[in-house]
Structures are given as C-alpha cells and as structure tokens.
Chains A and B, each alone.
Chain A
Amino acid sequence: MDLSFSAEEQAFRAEVCGFLADKLPPELAQTVRDGRGLSKDNYERWHALLNEQGWLAPNWPKEFGGCEWNAVQRHIFEDECCRAHAPRIVPFGLSMLAPVLQKFGSKQQQDHYLPRILSSQDWWCQGYSEPGAGSDLASLKTKAVRDGDTYVVNGQKTWTTLGQYANWIFCLVRTDPTVKQQAGISFLLIDMDTPGIEVRPIILLDGTHEVNEVWFTDVRVPVENLVGEENMGWTYAKYLLTHERTNIAGVGFSQAGLAAVKRLARSQMHRGRPLIENPHFAARVARVEIDLMAMSTTNLRIISGAAKGQAPGVESSMLKVKGTQIRQEINDLARRAAGVYAMPFASEGVEGSNEAPIGPEGTTHVAAQYFNNRKLSIFGGSNEIQRNIIAKVKLGGGA
C-alpha cells in the first residue's frame, strides 16, 4: 500500500496545473465558480483551448488524435480542472459517441466524424430516453423503417441535454419490432437539419433550459449513417454506457462544492459568530467531508485497478450512488448556509443578465443548484437502477 502518487504522476499534475494557470480564461472560471449557466460559446471556447493543447480527448487512442492517458492521468486532469473551475468537457461527442465509432464505426465514419468532434465543427446530442422508456431503456419505440437506401424515422426522444445547440444526434431506434426488445435496436447518426425534426425545450424546475424533446416525423436518414450492424445497437449502447461512467463519482465537483460551502459558511453570521463555527452546521459539513475523503479513495482504488487493465464492474454503480448522494448533500448544505438569501429566484443565473446579485457573494444560485442537481440521482441510470445492478451482481438474483 502506498497512498501517494508516483513522481511521474506528480509531474503530470504540475503540467496540468501550469496549463490551467496559463490558458483557462479567468472570466470563464468565474462563471463556473458562480454556478452560472454556460453558453454554447463558453463551451466551444474551452474546447478550442484544450484542442490546441492536444488535450480535448483524454480517453481517445493516439491514432485518432487523443491523449491515450491512463485512468490515473485522466483522474488527475479532471481533478485539477474542477479545482480550477474549468468548464466541463461536453461529453456527448467526445466521450460517448467517439468510443463507439472508434470500436464499431466504419473507417469512413471514423475519418469523417472524429476530426469534426475535435474541431467543434459538430455538436452532438444523445437520443436515448423516450417518454415511455426511461429506466426501462430497451422498451424504446422510435422506429426506423428501411426504404431503399434510407431509413425513415418516426418517434420522440426526450431529456436531450443541450440538444438546442446540437447539429447531430446519435439515436437508438427500433429496426425490428418482431424480436426480443434488445435484439431489434439499431444505432443511427442523424443530421439535426434533416426535414421532419423538431426540437422543443423542456424548462426544468429551476427555470433553466438544458434539456429538450426531439420529435421525428418521416425523417429520412441515409443507410450509411447506421453504425455497425443493423439490430446490434443495444450492444453498442451498453458499450457507450460504460464510457459514460468515467468520472462517475464526481469527486472533483464535490471537492469544489465543499470548498464553496466552507467559504460561504465563513462569511455568513449566525448568532453573532461565523456560521462555520456553529456546532450543528459544522457537524453537517464534517460528516459529508468524511464521506468524501473515503469515496475519493474508493475512486482511486478503482482508477488504479483500471490503469492496470482491470475492467470496473459493479464498483461503477457503487460510485454513482455514493457520489451523487455526496454531491446532493453538499448542495443541501449550500442552500442551508445561504439562509434567507436562498429564497430569491436568480433569473440572472439562467443566462446573460448583468444585474447585481441580491444576497451576499456565493448565495445567488445555491437554491437553484440544489433543485437542479436532484437530476444527478435520476439520470445516467437512476440510483434505483444502479442498486438493481449491484444486487444482481452481488446477490445473484434477478433485478
């Protein structure tokens, strides 16, 4: 046992820190630190800076222009990016679609789409969930019917994150309704400009527009946009889901969030003393910090195993449940710390306005974030589905 990082890993961390200090625009970091919404331009600007450095695709093999970093390096990179309040890398093209194309796509698809992902020429979104297919994803109904050298797509996708910015969508569609659900699904790439596609915003409970419904009416998609083989889409989707699980614990987000809670609790007064000195509040902070310290090591144990080539299994589900519990607890602490100033609705948080904040620094967005991050335990496989997976593997029974 040795809990320290190797000399090479420490040197790598220093390199990442140096890059962030030089290249991360301070105003972008401030936006992230304040918890304000990021615009499409904000994301693209950060992607371009990372791409210039050759660091936009940490998980891609070098042959496709990636870093081919191992799990420990990726962890260090994500950790430092969170600490520096860098915007997150939008995952849909880079860490969800790209691994599927690299593994199952044609040479032609790889050559065409992968460089366009790196250059931000294409913005991808994910067409998985449907109104009737949430936790039970395999029951999806959007259908694609072959007609000559095109598929005709009809149906509806939902919870499409940042779909309003996307020009391409990767979709799971039903191509064979006669077989077992999982066996009749295909993986299609669809240009959002194709006639028959309509994107409708869904406004979330905190007033933000980050997800959408995407409707398909007789949308004609060339057959060359099929990834891999027809009716093999479920296999590819499962492969994609394992990649979605990287950084699933969100340790960096939790550390940044906890630091923000402490800053706020030092400035807020309670009975004439800083709130951080209040035993009840301090106990809440301490409990979550203790949980986070342990989870951070669980995360490193799994990452270290992955760097040695061990495939993470049920541990991903464990990290998802514990990681989201911790992040949500931190969001709860932040709204508590804000006191009465959690009550105002920060319309300026939604996008763009320059109005002065109403409450003290660090209070403006905490309540909205508390509500927004209830999504963490719902999306990406709800925590109930993760518990089913854990129970199935560990208890051997059905889900």
Chain B
Amino acid sequence: MNFDLTDERQMLQDSLRRFLTDRYTTQVRNDILNSDTGYSTEIWAQLAELGIIGALFTEDQGGYGGAGFDIAVVFEELGRAGVVEPFLDSAVLGGGLIAALGTEAQKTLLEQVIDGSLLLAFAHGEPASRYDLSHVQTTATIQDDSIVLSGRKAVAVNAEAAGFLIVSARENGAVMDQDGISLFLVPADTPGLSLRGYPLLAGGRAAEVELDHVTLPASARLGVAGQAYPVIAERAAAASVALAAETLGAMETATVLTRDYLQTRQQFGRPIGSFQALQHRMADLLIELEQARSAVINAAGHLEGEPHQRDLHIAAARNLVARTGRLVSEETIQLHGGIAMTQEYELAHIAKRITMAEHRFGDADHHLEQFIDLSTA
C-alpha cells in the first residue's frame, strides 16, 4: 500500500500550485470573472505550455498522464485556486471523447487541444434530461450521404469558445435508451448551429445550443453509429473524478481561509477562534475534509477499472463530496460572518465553485440513487 504521489505527479502538483499561487491571484481571477470571454486566453496558453492539458491525456493520445490520479492531482490544484478555465470541458470531456472514439484523422485535432490552441465543448445534456446520461432527444437522421442533427442542448459549458462542439444525438431507439446514441464532431461555424451564451454563477460561460437541421458529412461521426453510450459514461466518470477533486481543493482553501480568519478576527476582546463553540465546528469540517480526500482517492483509483466497480466508487465519492461540500461552503461562510457574503472576498467565489460543482453530472441525490442501484445490482 502506498498513498504517495509518484515523482512525476508530485512535480506536476508542485509546478501547478506554484504557478497558480503566483499568477492566479484573487485580483486576476476577479478580472477574469468580469470579462466578456469568462476565461483568460493568456492563463490558458501558459497552463497549456506548463503541460497541464497534456497531463490529462495518455502517452498514446499525445499526453503524459490521463489516469484517474492525474486528473485528481490537476483538478485538486485548480479547485484550490478557484480556476474557471475550461479544462474539464475542453480536455477531459471534449478531448477525451475524441481520443476514445476518433479515427486517426479525427484524432489529429488532439495536438491542438493539448497545446491549448483549440478549445472544445461537450453538448450532451438537454432541457429535460437533468443528470440522466442516456436521455437524448436530439435526433440524427441520415439523408443521402449526410447526417442531419436537430434538437436542443442545455447549459453546454464553454460552447462559445469551442472550435468544435461534440454533440450527442439519437440515431435510433427511445428517448432513454442507452443504445442508439452517437456523437458528432460539429465545427462551430456549421450552418443551423446557434448558441445563446451566458455567464455562469461560479465563473466561466455556457450556452443553450440550438441544432436546426445541422447537416454534416458522415465523417463527422465519432465511433460506431448508435454505440457511444459506454464512452459517454466513461468520460462522465472521469468528469466526476475531476469535479470531486476540484471540490476537494476548493474545500481546502475554504477551511484555510476560515482558520486564518478565526485566528485574526477579534470580537469581545479576543480572537473568535478562541470560542469553543466555533473550534468544534471547525474540527468537524476538518474531519469531513479527510473523508472527502479518501473518497476522491477511491474514485480516482477505480477510474480505469471495470465499469461496475468504477461507477460504484464514482457515485460514492460524488455523494460524499456533495454532502461535505455543502457543509463546508455553508459553515465556512457562517464562521466568517458578513465578510464572506461579499463578492470580492476570496471565499465567496470558492463557495460558489463548491456548490455549483454539484450541478454537473449529478447532485448528491442522483449519486445516492446510482449507488443504491449499483450496490444492489
């Protein structure tokens, strides 16, 4: 048994933490949050150059990592600094789907994804699908040599900045069937594709995606017709590792800020951290934080495993981290008092990142149900 990071991952963690501590200050981040693009092209390029995107792909794919533990190391650091740049959407999801399903020709895009010059987005969820991965109503129909997509995609994160959208659509079967779903590589300028973009509460941007008879060549399909579901589920699991690790990192920052504040804020002539009632609440948060760390390790360690075991551990981690995340974000705000309610204070953004992560790929209840289904199956 060994819970140490490998030397390579330790170096990755150190260099990413150093870069973000130096460069991703609260002021820089607040400027990014107020920008029209919702992310910094400069920071993105610098992090790509540092190899952070490459860490999310295997050597075969052109990177040098790509395993669950690589994802966990990177996203814990991103979470610690409250980073809003689209690593999840462009690399883990977009790039990951192309890497898993693409032809050699399609996979040539990965080089640009890894060097940061091409951004991607995954347009999968729909207004009625909630967190159900097989709920796809958007249709793909074959007309002569072409494929025509029609439907609507909900809250497609990073869609406006993406050079290609990876769009899921149904080629056959009923709305909730796992069979019959395909993925398509859709260039952003394809006629019939329209986006309504908007900022997200926790930073970054997303769009409602309208597909009105979007006509594509057959070569736009990723993988075998109607057989994309297992890969979607695998990438959703990878995304869940990323989100759980990001939340873990954000919770670390939230508790550090709170510890520092308890030690410095004076009321009634002494630091508020000297009150036992508050000390105990802080202690409870630290207990839960270690639970969350172990849950993330469990999930990351099973990402390459057999799908049933993988999904069981992912569901467990996301349920636990969602519960812990709510506790930590609410309690750290409360322990601070009014200052944590202000937009410019670091914790406000961190608490929003923690809370909003629960709204991607399933909240606590969704993962509880997944866990029950998988553990009784």
A residues sitting closer than 8 Å to B (CB atoms) are 129, 132, 134-136, 139, 158-159, 202-207, 268-272, 275, 278, 280-281, 284, 328, 332, 335-336, 338-345, 347, 358-360, 367-368, 370-371, 374-375, 377-379, 382-384, 387
A275 proximity list for chain B (CB < 8 A): 130
Instruction: Decide: A384 and B348 in contact? CB cutoff 8 A.
Output: no
Q: Contacts A272-B176, A332-B326; is A340 near B365 (CB within 8 Å)?
A: no
Known: A336-B363, A336-B365, A340-B155. A205 touches B342 (CB 8 A): yes
Q: Which of B9-17, B99-107, B194-202 lines the interface with chain A? A: B194-202
Contacts of B213 in A (CB 8 A): none
Is there an interface contact between A203 and B342, defined as CB atoms closer than 8 Å?
yes
B308 at the A interface (CB under 8 A): no
Further pairs besides A134-B267, A135-B268, A206-B201: 4, Cβ < 8 Å: A132-B266, A139-B267, A345-B199, A371-B201
Q: Contact at A340–B360, with CB atoms within 8 Å? A: yes
Name the A residues within 8 Å of B363 (CB-CB): 336, 339
Asked whether A280 and B208 contact (CB < 8 A) given A269-B128, A340-B360, the answer is no
Contacting pair A280 B155 (CB below 8 A): no
Known A-B contacts A271-B132, A344-B206; A280 and B368 likewise in contact (beta carbons under 8 Å)? yes
B330 contacts chain A at the CB level, 8 A cutoff? yes
Q: Given A204-B341, A347-B199, A367-B201, does the pair A358, B208 have CB atoms closer than 8 Å?
A: yes
B155 and A343 within 8 A (CB): yes
Docked-complex contact A339 and B131, CB < 8 angstroms: yes
What separation, in Å, do the CA atoms of A14 and B201 have in the docked complex? 42
* Residues on the B chain within 8 Å of A340, using CB: 125, 130-131, 154-155, 359-360
Instruction: Give CA–CA (A251, B201) in the complex, Å.
Output: 28
Specify which chain B residues have a CB less than 8 angstroms from the CB of A203 in the assembled complex. Answer: 342-344
With beta carbons under 8 angstroms apart, the residue of B130, B199, B355, B365 that contacts A268 is B130
| A89 CA to B349 CA, complexed, in Å | 32
Q: Are A134 and B326 in contact (CB under 8 A)?
A: no
B residues within 8 A CB of A269? 128, 130
Q: Across the interface, do B344 and A342 meet the contact criterion of CB distance under 8 Å? A: no
**Segment at the interface with A among B86-94, B310-318, B331-339:** B331-339
CB–CB B352/A205 < 8 A: yes
- Report B-chain residues with C-beta under 8 Å of the C-beta of A271: 130, 132, 176
* Contacts A205-B341, A332-B326, A371-B352; A343 near B206 (Cβ below 8 A): yes
Residue pair B338, A378 in contact (C-beta under 8 Å): yes
Q: Kindly state whether residue B351 has any CB partner on chain A within 8 Å.
A: yes
B277 at the interface (CB under 8 A from A): yes
A-B residue pairs in contact (CB < 8 Å), sample of 26: A132-B266, A134-B267, A134-B337, A139-B267, A203-B342, A203-B344, A205-B343, A207-B343, A272-B175, A280-B365, A281-B365, A284-B365, A328-B330, A339-B359, A341-B155, A342-B356, A344-B155, A359-B154, A360-B127, A367-B356, A368-B201, A374-B330, A374-B334, A374-B340, A378-B338, A378-B341
A283 closest partner in B (C-beta):
B365
Task: Report the minimal beta-carbon distance from B169 to chain A, rounded to whole angstroms.
Answer: 18
Question: Does B278 reach chain A (CB closer than 8 Å)?
Answer: yes
Chain B interface helix/strand/loop/mixed: mixed
Q: Which chain B residues border A207 with CB–CB below 8 Å? A: 343
Using C-beta atoms within 8 Å of the partner chain, give the interface range for chain B: 35 or more
User: Quick one: closest B residue to A336, CB to CB?
Assistant: B363
Please, how many angstroms separate the alpha-carbon atoms of A375 and B338 in the complex? 7
The answer on a CB contact under 8 Å between B334 and A383 is yes
* Residue among A271, A328, A335, A340 with most chain B CB within 10 A: A340
Chain A nearest CB from B193 CB (Å) reads 18
Given contacts A278-B365, A368-B201, A371-B352, contact A378 B337 (CB under 8 A): yes
* Across-interface contacts of B155 in A (CB, < 8 A): 340-341, 343-344
The answer for the CA separation of A343 and B222 in the assembled complex, in Å, is 28
Q: Which residue of A lies closest to B277 (CB)?
A: A384
Which residues of B are interface residues toward A (Cβ below 8 A)?
125, 127-128, 130-132, 135, 154-155, 175-176, 196, 198-202, 206, 208, 266-269, 277-278, 326, 330, 333-334, 337-338, 340-344, 348-349, 351-352, 355-356, 359-360, 363, 365, 368-369
- Cβ of A387 and Cβ of B277 under 8 Å apart? yes
Contact B277 A344 (CB under 8 A): no
Closest chain B residue, CB of each to CB of A129: B338
User: Shortest beta-carbon distance, B308 to chain A, in Å?
Assistant: 19
Docked-complex contact A342 and B359, CB < 8 angstroms = yes
CB-defined contacts of B266 to chain A, threshold 8 Å = 132
Q: Which residue of B lies closest to A137 (CB)?
A: B267
Residue with the highest number of chain A CB atoms closer than 10 Å, among B196, B201, B355, B368: B201
User: Whole-angstrom distance between the alpha carbons of A206 and B125 in the complex?
Assistant: 25
What residues of chain B lie closer than 8 Å to A344, measured between beta carbons? 155, 198-201, 206
Q: Tell me the complex Cα distance, A339–B198, Å.
A: 17
Within the complex, the shortest CB–CB distance from B194 to chain A, in Å, comes to: 14
Q: Enumerate chain B residues within 8 angstroms of A202, measured Cβ to Cβ.
A: 342
Of all chain A residues, which has the CB nearest B176?
A272
Nearest neighbor of B125 in chain A, beta-carbon distance: A340
A204 to B: closest C-beta gap in Å: 5
Q: Which residue of B lies closest to A203 (CB)?
A: B343
Distance in angstroms between the alpha carbons of A340 and B132 in the assembled complex? 11
How distant is the Cα of A28 from the Cα of B333 in the complex, in angstroms?
A: 32
Nearest CB in chain B to that of A379: its residue: B338
